[in-house]
Structure 1
């Protein structure tokens, strides 16, 4: 299969920033811009509030700005152009590991892993991946590890013709890409027969007594979210454990603040994070309590799937 290159495009418009205009905070503080994992901005910012407030509260002289890119392809240009210093998605890290300093992998709920999952309506006739032939399948962002890359690879391994997916059209099924929340909603609204998402989003749509594979029970940090959503869906496929999002900084960012942020993330724990939770915070949404010391080797399963699908990250 030939390589199909994802062109990152322009990140300036996606972030609403102009390169070179993010420094110079009042009072001599250093402005640092952190890019959260692209999804639904109104949902992601509140989830990370204890983390970002912890960094602001524990590190003197830090003026932390938080941005949510419109999609994964906007992250790399923002870092390359100096609009941002810190990111936290594995696809961007994999696209340029020599240009990034990996701090580690996020831990929450005592685990550094999550799962890709496929969901359908409880009364659906879909019981396995091959049942998606001829069906409409909703995915997250095209470069989402769990909501697209792992899922498309799994469908290919099941024998379905995925065509040029995820950056083109599949053959054996109709695919539509958006974000995690929207993918699930499409199934609920009968706009898709099944969806692909991650456990941090999809687990809430399972009944509280949903039986889970042993590996999911032991490794996933979101099993307590079962029953939290109004609608109920049924899982029919799970991946193996996937390392959670890495947190990294661009290598050419030369500042003492880089080391201070890395060390604070490593030193963080559940007790400290709780000090920075708003009173109305839903603790089951917490994406981070500390960092696990990891290397690029932990992300080889993602690299393998990108290579198999012929995706070259540009």
Structure 2
């Protein structure tokens, strides 16, 4: 009897040890590197340089190799994260919604950029050259329009849906409609007189003369590519939720928590890296959830089926 008890105790001890070992398993045991997708409406070299400090920080904090993968457009990042070729990427709201739908929920939002006033939204705007003679959406009729990218929230989805809801079919209303390949490219196309109009994104807060607090206009002003006096804003959308930094849903829970901790702490612990990522005067990040993107997901579904969200 004593021998049986000893055997049972030894067996139980082995099971407890195995269970504790499994519970203590780290993401480092299964995730050998973290691949981060980048899209920023600028050339790949600038994008990689601007995010190198971020890559080094992630690699140091996570204890595994981190690689950056720039994409030429939103579709590239959407496809890459859906196919498991990257594990994390920052999206616009529409790009996130599209990727979520395309891969049947294989991704989830981690954090959302937060403005200094606590808001987590931005605006789509339509711009033209200051000397174009166009001063409203009504007088823009018959002129050429550059959308940014078919998977951009502010650069296509929201303005296109809003115009259609107002009875304006862009293909009929404007003389020519095209995609510039990105937000910066669209505004440059207007400045270079390749298009009369372009849509892009802005925080809509702060000094207009500086390109507002953040967004494509501010980034172009800071890079010396734009003077706000050279353009005028003809139209502004309603509030659009900031796009999330999203991760593959199948990543280990402890890795997700580690990434969340790094990003939430980033503005305080590494303000220079935070500034290089956000290029503006945001206040950091807030936890994100699916509720924030429900309307955008519904709008993407309607767009895909040729319908219109009421």
Query: Does the CA-based 8 Å contact 2:214-2:281 persist in structure 1?
Result: no
Are 2:241 and 1:243 equivalent residues in the alignment? yes
Query: Does the CA-based 8 Å contact 1:205-1:226 persist in structure 2?
Result: no
Which residue in the other structure is 2:123 paired with? 115
Uncovered stretches (5+) of structure 1, i.e. residues with no partner: 1-27, 163-169, 211-216
* Aligned-residue offset at 1:161: 1.5
Return the alpha-carbon distance in structure 1 between the equivalents of residues 115 and 32 of structure 2: 28
Which residue in the other structure is 2:270 paired with? 273
- Bigger CA radius of gyration: 2
Query: Does the CA-based 8 Å contact 2:95-2:153 persist in structure 1?
Result: no
Query: What is the TM-score normalised by the length of structure 2?
Result: 0.71
Are 2:184 and 1:185 equivalent residues in the alignment? no
* Aligned-residue offset at 1:50: 4.7
Q: How many residues align?
A: 263
Return the alpha-carbon distance in structure 2 between the equivalents of residues 35 and 48 of structure 1: 11
* Aligned-residue offset at 1:252: 2.1
Which residue in the other structure is 2:257 paired with? 259
Q: Secondary structure at the match of 1:160?
A: coil
CA RMSD of aligned residues (A): 3.5
Higher relative contact order (CA 8 A, sep 6+): 1
Which residue in the other structure is 1:138 paired with? 146
* Aligned-residue offset at 1:255: 6.5
Query: What is the TM-score normalised by the length of structure 1?
Result: 0.70
CA separation of 1:283/1:75 partners in 2, compared to 1, >3 Å: closer, same or farther?
Answer: closer
Which residue in the other structure is 1:80 paired with? 82
Greater share of helix:
2
Which residue in the other structure is 1:290 paired with? 284
Uncovered stretches (5+) of structure 2, i.e. residues with no partner: 1-29
Which residue in the other structure is 1:99 paired with? 106
CA separation of 1:204/1:143 partners in 2, compared to 1, >3 Å: closer, same or farther?
Answer: farther
* Aligned-residue offset at 1:68: 1.5
